[in-house]
Amino acid sequence: MRDIQDPIYYGKVRLSKNFYLPTDRFILLISAITAIIIFFIGISLKLYESYINLAILILATYLLGVLPYIIYKSRRDIEIRRIIDAYPSFLNDLGEAISSGMTLLQAMKHVSNLNYGPLSKYIKKLYVWLSWNIEFEKAFEMFNRYFLDIPTIQIVNKMILQSYISGGDFSKTLKTVAIDLLNIRDLEKLRDAYISQQKMVMYVVFFIFLGLIVAILMVIQPIVSSFSTIQASSQLGITFGSIDLRWLKIISSIAIIMQAISIAIIIGITESGKIISSFKHLGITSLVSIIIILIFLLPPSIQINLSIYPTSAYIGQSVTINVEGSIDAKAINNELVTIKILGPTTQTFTAMFINGKATVTYTPQIVGNYTVEAVYIYSNREYKATSSFRVT
């Protein structure tokens, strides 16, 4: 791979002899490939058998696919802001040095020894080219290629180069451009402050939307789970069937994802006028959405209820133990439940859920207090319900 400081290939990664890919796209490509490999390894290890393991796998895959790109873009944005802030000082110092009687090469040597933050490395490179007797026009054009993603500096540098070619007081031009650039920077800071307020409002709207979706589901879920079949009839004979909680969760998840995409696009266009700026915000909104979905929406709602009749029995009297179970308000079918009777004697029974119900009959032979525990295993996790009865 060529020297990264070479302006022709700066910000690019060589993939073949004549093919170069921008660094941000290369990072995104490698991250996506790595994430896909990790995801298929997790699937091959059957992590999907446990919801917690599957959720961790999905989150880890997403972070591997997106986080490196977001970190790179964030660091690059910080570097760009620091370069823009330092550029007026660089132009003004260069103009002052030339005004004091220095040659252009001497002035460049002087400013190359000053600290302009991340801008300094590019200034040093320009001075090295000039010290190699490369013409200023050619050296400055190569220097300007380092700022292809900073339109403001691109325009300023073209103005400076035109002024140098046309002749005149070059130092005065540099100072004037520095003042203009300071004024532009101040205006952009005012604009950024206003846009930051708008971005904050849109993020707040997004989080409020997430909170409302989660709150609504938290209210509806226990109601639907308690009444797995809710029907209401009117005088007109209209009947409403049962609510499918799983579909409700899926629809809510899709709504959250669509909201995350929409908000990211709006924020990106508001920020820079370009839709490409949305990707950084999409990484943030989609990450939050995935976490909310995995924690609050998609986990299955398991309901296990235990009832005993009678709760006070005599020796030799049959006690009926009923277990009711549902997953996301859907009755459990053809699944086993373990019923443990703990007391003066301990016994364990296994029953089958049929249409959400499993029944066991127990005849106690010893006086005492008994505790009944129903255990249902789903995705390697135990769900329990307990109750008790007394034998006299």
DSSP 70: H
Label residue 210 exposed, middle or buried (CB < 10 Å: 0-12, 13-18, 19+).
buried
**How confident is the prediction for the chain on average, in pLDDT?**
87
Reply yes or no on whether the pLDDT at 236 is more than 60: no
Give per-residue pLDDT as tens, 135-193: 999 999 999 999 988 988 999 999 999 999 988 789 999 999 999 999 988 888 888 88
Hey, what are 208's tokens? 């409020």
Q: Which helix (H) or strand (E) holds 12?
A: strand 12-16
Q: What is the pTM of this model?
A: 0.73
Provide, rounded to the nearest whole percent, the portion of the chain with pLDDT above 90: 51
Give per-residue pLDDT as tens, 196-221: 888 999 999 999 999 999 998 888 87
Q: Model confidence at 268, in pLDDT bands (50, 70, 90)?
A: confident
Give per-residue pLDDT as tens, 314-339: 998 999 999 998 888 788 899 999 99
Length of the chain: 392
Query: In angstroms, rounded to a whole number, what is the distance separating the alpha carbons of residues 310 and 68?
Result: 62
CB burial readout 257-266, b (16+ within 10 A) else e = eebbeebbbb
Give per-residue pLDDT as tens, 179-201: 999 998 888 888 888 888 889 99
Q: Where are the alpha helices (DSSP H) in 100-169?
A: 104-112, 120-131, 136-144, 151-166
Alpha-carbon dihedral 31, 33, 35, 40, rounded to 10 degrees: -170
- Please tell me the predicted confidence (pLDDT) of residue 243: 62
Q: Model confidence at 235, in pLDDT bands (50, 70, 90)?
A: very low
